[in-house]
Structure 1
C-alpha cells in the first residue's frame, strides 16, 4: 500500500482496511476534493463522496499514509460552537511535488508545485528563448532539477506550458509564432526526454499556456465554482482563450479548441500572423497597447510588464487612456462574440486583460453587455484572474492529474 509503517493496533488496521477496500474507488475523488479546497473537513468529505463516515475516515487515513494530506483529529473549536468539530483535512505541506515549467516570448521559468496549487519553490526566470526548443526545454528542466536537489522533495511528474496550440495525441506545438520555434515541434516528447535525462520521476505533459491558466483558475482561483468558465488572456505576446465545460477543460477533438486570438475585432487593423487582419492576437496584446500609446518597447523588461506599468502609472495621460479604451473596446467585442456562442456562466481575464479590467471595469462590461444577447439578458460576471503564475500552476495540474485519478497506482 503506502509503504509506511502503520502505528495502529492490528485489529483496528484490519477493520480500517476492510473499509478502505469498500471505498478504494473514492481515493482519487477524495484527493481531488481536498486538493481543490472543496472538502476542508471529514464531514464535508463524507457528504461529497456519498459514503459512510467510517469509509471516509479510512480513505482520509490512507491518503495521509501516502503522504498526500494531513488529518487534524483535534481541530480547535470556534467560540460559541456546539458539538465535536469534524476532523480537518488539508494537503501535506511536506508532501511530494511536481515540476512545472513555462516558456513564453520573453523567457521561461521553472517551479515546484505541491497539491492545492501551492508553489513551493521557483527558479529565477530566464529572459531569452533560443530558437531550438530542445535547448530551451533542457535549460528549464535543469533549473527544475536544481530546485529538487536543493529542497530534497520527491517529484511525481512534470508539466509544461507553452504559448502555442498543442495538438493531441502527439503533443506538437502547431503555432509557436512568438517563439521562432519550428511549426509542429514535438514539445511534449522533447520535454519528456529532458525530464528522464535529468533523473526526474513521473510522467511528463505539455499544454497551451492559456488552457492551463484556465484549469488553474477553475480549480484554485477566480473560476472556482463555475460550471462553464471562459478564460481569455494576453501574456507577453498574442491573445489566447480557454473553456472549462462542466468542470473539465475543453480542448476539442485534437487539442486545438478556443483559438480566440484569431477573432477579427478590427477589420482594417494590423496584419496578423494567421494571414488575416485585425485579430485579437495583434489588436489587444501588450505590443498593441504600447503601439497605440506611441511608446517604444524597451529591452530591459518584458512587454507585459511594460504595458502593465504604463496602465498603472500613467493612465491619467490622455494618450494612454485613449489607447487603453481602444483595446478595451476590441477586447469587449471579442468577448461578446464568445458569449453569444458559448454562453459561459463566468469570464476570467488574465495578463494585460486583467489590468484593462482593473483600470476601467465599467467600460469593458458595458461593451460586452451591449454587444451580446446574453449580456443584455442579465450579464455574465467578468472577473480578474487571481493566481500568480497561473499557467505554471496549470502545468502542475497536468502532472498531478494521474495522482488525482489513482493515488495508489501513481505513487507506487
Structure 2
C-alpha cells in the first residue's frame, strides 16, 4: 500500500479537478493496478473526501466502473477575498464548489491588522454555523505577495505600508478568532490575479491548457498570471507577471509609476472612461453603460471600446512573445472588451505577436463567476491535495 499512499494526493487532485470521474479512468491516469486504485479510493472515502458509487456504470470499453465524486458533506476550506473597499468570505468544498459568498464592507481608515481581524472574526462565525469541518484557509489579496515571507508590496490601493506582513497577520488573527486548522496546515495568502488563474485552470476556461496566461483588471490596474503544467509560475520571490508596467502607448496616459502609456492605465476601466471623454473617477456604472452602448451601436462607445481593446491587444501580444502560452483567459472587464471587439482584439494580438501569423493564441473569456474567491479556495486546498491524510482525525 506504500505505492498507493504515494499517489493519494495525485488521485484526489484528479477527482477534485474532474479528471477522473470513474475508478477506471483513475487507474489509467495513475498507471497503477485496479486493486491499488480500489485501496486508494477506499482510503479517500474513509477520510470523507470523496464518494464511490456502489453501482458501477459503463466504462470506456463497456466495462462497468464505479463513479467517483467529491463528498458533498466532507471537509471545507475558508476562501477569503480582500477588496479595496470590502471583503468576501465563503466556505468551499472540493471540486470547485463554492458556498454562498458573504460580502461585507470594511471600516474606513482601518489598519492592516484591524482589517484582517474583522475578516477573521466574521470567518469564525461562518465556520461555526457550518456542520462541516474547516481544514484550510486561503486569502486572495489585491497586491503582489512575496514568497516565502508573505509580505504585501505595492499595496497603495489598500492604503497599507509597503512590506506589510499580510501572511503573518492573517495567520495570527485567524488563530485569535478561534479558528483551528489541522496540524501542519498554515493559512495561506497570495495575489488575487494569480489565484484567479489557478481557479480558471482547474475549473474554468483554462482547463486542459498547458501554458495558461490570465489577464485581468480590477477597479484600477491590469494584472497577469501564468500557469505552467498545472502550477502557478510566481518567479523567484512571488512577484512574476506584473504586466501592468508594459508600455503600450508611449504618448498615452500618465501612469502612477511616472511613465506614460503603461498597460495599467491604458487597458483598465478608467481608460475606457477616459476614451469616452469621462473623468477616470466617474462611477463604474458608467463603464457598464459604455460597454452596453457599444453593443447597441453607439459610435462613441464603440470607438472607446476599440481604443482600449487595441492597447490591451498590444500588451497581450508582448507577453505572448515572451511566454508562448497555448491559451489566454480574460477576466470580466477584458472579456467584455472581447465581446465588444470580437475581431479587433484577436487581430491586434495576432498582428503584434511575433508568432501570430503561425497560429494565433485563443482568447477566451473567464468562466467562473468569482475566480479570485475560487482561487483562494484552491490555495487553501493545496496542503490537503498534497497530503490527504492531513484531514485524518
TM-score, normalised via structure 2 length: 0.93
Distance 1:355 1:127 in 2: 28
Corresponding residue for 2:251? Answer: 268
Partner of residue 215, structure 1? 198
**CA contact under 8 A between 2:293 and 2:301: conserved in structure 1?**
no
Contact 1:374 1:380 in 2 (8 A): no
Distance in 1 between residues matched to 2:299 and 2:108, nearest whole Å? 35
Q: 1:401 aligns with which of 379, 382, 389?
A: 382
Judge which range, 187-196 or 136-145, deviates more: 136-145
CA distance in 2, matches of 1:312, 1:244: 32
1:338 aligns with 2:299: no
Partner residue, 1:249: 232
Deviations 1:199-251 (A, max 9, x none): 22322111011000000011111111011110010022211000111221000
Q: Say if 1:34 and 1:90, in contact at 8 Å, map to a contact too.
A: yes
Structure 1 range deviating more: 313-322 or 376-385: 313-322
Cα distance in 2 between the residues matched to 1:129 and 1:287:
23
Deviation at 1:72, TM superposition (A): 0.5
**In structure 1, distance between residues paired with 2:221 and 2:163:** 18
Q: How many residues align?
A: 388
Out of 125, 149, 157, which is 2:104 matched to? Answer: 125
Deviations 1:261-319 (A, max 9, x none): 110111122222223221111111112212222345788x7x3x652353135542222
Alpha-carbon deviation of 1:48?
Answer: 0.6
Query: Which residue is 2:87 aligned to?
Result: 108
Deviates more, 1:130-139 or 1:236-245: 130-139
| Stretches of structure 2 lacking an aligned partner (at least 5 in a row) | none
Aligned partners of 2:27, 2:286: CA distance in 1, in Å? Answer: 49
What are the Cα deviations for residues 115-135 of structure 1, in whole angstroms up to 9, with x where unaligned? 111102321332766451222
Which residue is equivalent to 2:77? Answer: 98
59 and 135 in structure 1: CA distance in 2 versus 1, 3 angstrom threshold:
same
Name the counterpart of 2:265: 282
Structure 1 counterpart SS, 2:378: helix
Residue of structure 2 equivalent to 1:12:
none
Equivalent residue for 1:308, pick from 278, 288, 291: 288
Cα-Cα RMSD? 2.0
Write out aligned runs for 1:3-42 (5 A). Answer: 20-42=1-23
Gaps (5+ residues) in structure 1? 1-19
Deviation at 1:321, TM superposition (A): 1.2
Structure 1 position 56, deviation (Å): 0.2
- Could you tell me how far apart the structure 2 residues matched to 1:296 and 1:127 are? 26
- Given that 1:74 and 1:87 are in contact with CA atoms closer than 8 Å, whether structure 2 keeps it comes out as yes
Is it true that 1:224 corresponds to 2:204 in the alignment?
Answer: no
Question: Alpha carbons of 1:393 and 1:309: their partners in 2 closer, same or farther (altered >3 Å)?
Answer: farther
Residue matched to 1:351: 332
Q: 1:91 to 1:240 in 2, by over 3 A?
A: same
Moved more, 204-213 or 115-124: 115-124
Which runs of structure 2 are paired with 1:49-88 in the superposition (5 Å)?
Answer: 49-75=30-56, 83-88=62-67
Residue among 146, 169, 177 paired with 1:190: 169
The whole-number CA distance in structure 2 between the counterparts of 1:287 and 1:229 is 26
Aligned equivalents of 1:51 and 1:212: distance in 2?
A: 32
State whether residues 302 and 340 of structure 2, in contact with CA within 8 Å, keep that contact through their aligned partners in structure 1.
no
Alignment of 1:156-171 (within 5 A): 156-171=135-150
Structure 1 residues 199-208 or 52-61, which shifts more?
199-208
Query: CA 1:358 to 1:65, structure 2 compared with 1: closer, same or farther past 3 Å?
Result: same
